[in-house]
Amino acid sequence: MDANRSHRLRAHGLKLAHLMTLFVAMSIICLPGLWIVLNSFRPTVEIMAKPPIWIPNDLNFDNYRAMFAGAGEGGVPVVTYFMNSLIISVTSTAIAILVGMAGGYAFARYRFRGKSAIFVGLMVTRAVPGVALSLPLFIVYARIGIIDTHFGMILTYVAMNVPFTIWLIDGFFRQVPKELAEAAEIDGCTRWQAFWRVEFPVARAGIASAGIFAFLTSWNEYALASQLTRSVTSKTMPVGLLDFTSEFTLNWGGMCALAVLMIIPALVLTFLVQKHLIAGLTFGGVKG
């Protein structure tokens, strides 16, 4: 009895220590985000105070009103930036997922010459940092006339996301038994029908997780967008943060307010599809 009681106490102690460690880790991770949210409601005097004021004395919506030209400080075209980011991110994600599904399925199901070399080549292109491509892309886009356009940014993000989506979706389809599609074909389905009605629903959660990662990559990317966009008609929200900088000052409150607006869609999307995300990560966690 004493041994069992000691074992239970030890198990409860380990569980409590585990939960406390997770709580501390999540607090550290979430602290910067909480600080940004608080600063978006605080005056500049409090934000720049030394030593820092941890508990706000005055919370207001002045930074948000100023951002929408409501407080005489000159508005930032937030709606335009938001629509640019939405159009570019959604379109590039949709194209990357379609190409990634085709490529990932081909790598998972078919054998062809040079398969391994092509796959490794795709992964090597993903390893190149985006900032290293900013100057070559700027020169090429300027010569063909697609710089500072939605099309140019969509093309860039598709090229960035396709290798990753192919790699991720390839792992998901490898977990789907081939026998499922073969059984569907025996029952009268065509190869296309077997894919959409049998294989795709099984791997749907994994494809959804690949889509989320591709969308967040496009939504939050700054280095390439800052080099390839110039006008309000094509700037994305991360680049719009520069509107709060001037030669001698930084409007930290305005930047934090815009950062909060950037975070909200990503959080909403993550909460809406979190079941698919978790299932997809678990499903594709081990490659066959």
Question: Two tokens at 201?
Answer: 């629903």
Assess whether 200 and 124 both reside in one domain. yes
For the chain, report the end-to-end CA distance as a whole number of angstroms.
45
Whole-number pLDDT of residue 83: 92
User: Is residue 134 predicted with pLDDT exceeding 70?
Assistant: yes
pLDDT score at 67 = 78
b vs e for 189-224, b when ≥16 Cβ sit within 10 Å of the residue's Cβ? Answer: beeeebbeebbeebbebbbbbbbbbbbbbbbbbeeb
Helices (H) and strands (E) in the chain, counts: 14, 0
Q: Which range marks the domain in which residue 163 is found?
A: 78-283
Residue 277 lies in a domain: yes
**Does residue 226 share a domain with residue 115?**
yes
Q: Among 67, 86, 112, which residue terminates a domain?
A: 67
Query: Within this chain, do residues 201 and 61 fall inside the same structural domain, yes or no?
Result: no
Confidence class for position 280, pLDDT limits 50, 70, 90: low
- pLDDT the model gives residue 278: 60
Confidence of residue 287 (pLDDT cuts 50, 70, 90): very low
Total domains, the chain = 2
- Whether 72 is in a domain gets the answer no
More confident residue, 192 or 142: 142
Say whether both 216 and 236 belong to one domain: yes
Per-residue model confidence as pLDDT tens digits over 58-93:
778 888 887 776 443 456 788 889 999 999 999 999
Q: What is the mean pLDDT of residues 254-263?
A: 88
Answer with the one of 44, 67, 90 that is the final residue of a domain. Answer: 67
- Rounded distance between C-alpha atoms, residue 237 and residue 242, angstroms: 9
Residue 56 DSSP label: -
pLDDT of the residue at 275: 67
Q: How confident is the model at residue 153 (pLDDT cuts 50, 70, 90)?
A: very high
Residues in the chain, total:
288
Does 73 fall in a domain?
A: no
pLDDT exceeds 50 at position 273: yes
For position 97, what pLDDT does the model report? 93
State yes or no: pLDDT of 286 exceeds 50.
no
Instruction: Fill in the DSSP letter of residue 41.
Output: T
Q: Is the whole model's pTM more than 0.85, yes or no?
A: no
- Which residue bears the tokens 């710089």? 147
Is it the case that residue 32 has pLDDT exceeding 50? yes
pLDDT digits (tens, 9 = 90+) for 167-223: 888 888 888 788 877 787 787 777 777 888 888 887 887 888 888 889 989 999 988
For residue 276, what pLDDT is reported? 62
Is 85 found in the same domain as 39?
no
Distance CA 169, CA 207 (A): 6
Distances from the Cα of 196 to the Cαs of 105, 184, 276, in angstroms? 12, 11, 18
Check whether residue 116 and residue 40 sit in a common domain: no
Mean per-residue pLDDT of the chain? 82
In a domain, 288, yes or no: no
Do 61 and 85 reside in the same domain of the chain? no
Tell me the CATH number at 263.
Answer: 1.10.3720.10
Q: With a cut of 70, say whether residue 148 has pLDDT above it.
A: yes
What is the reported pLDDT for 49? 80
Contact (CB, 8 A) for 265 and 219: yes
Q: Is pLDDT of 158 > 90?
A: yes
Distance (Å, rounded) from C-alpha 36 to C-alpha 141? 35
Looking at the structure, tell me whether residues 115 and 223 fall in a common domain: yes
**245 three-class SS:** strand
pLDDT at 226 over 60: yes
- DSSP lists the bridge partners of residue 245 as 250
Whether 58 and 85 map to the same domain: the answer is no
**CA-based nearest residue to 225, from 161, 130, 83:** 130
Single residue among 67, 97, 112 that ends a domain in this structure:
67
Specify whether 63 is located in the same domain as 97. no
Residues of the chain with pLDDT > 90: what percent? 15
Q: Are residues 27 and 156 in the same domain?
A: no
27 and 169 share one domain: no
**In this predicted structure, which of 57-71, 92-106, 251-265 has the lowest mean pLDDT?**
57-71
What pLDDT score was predicted for residue 70?
47
Asked if the peptide bond before residue 177 counts as cis, ω within 30 degrees of 0, the response is no
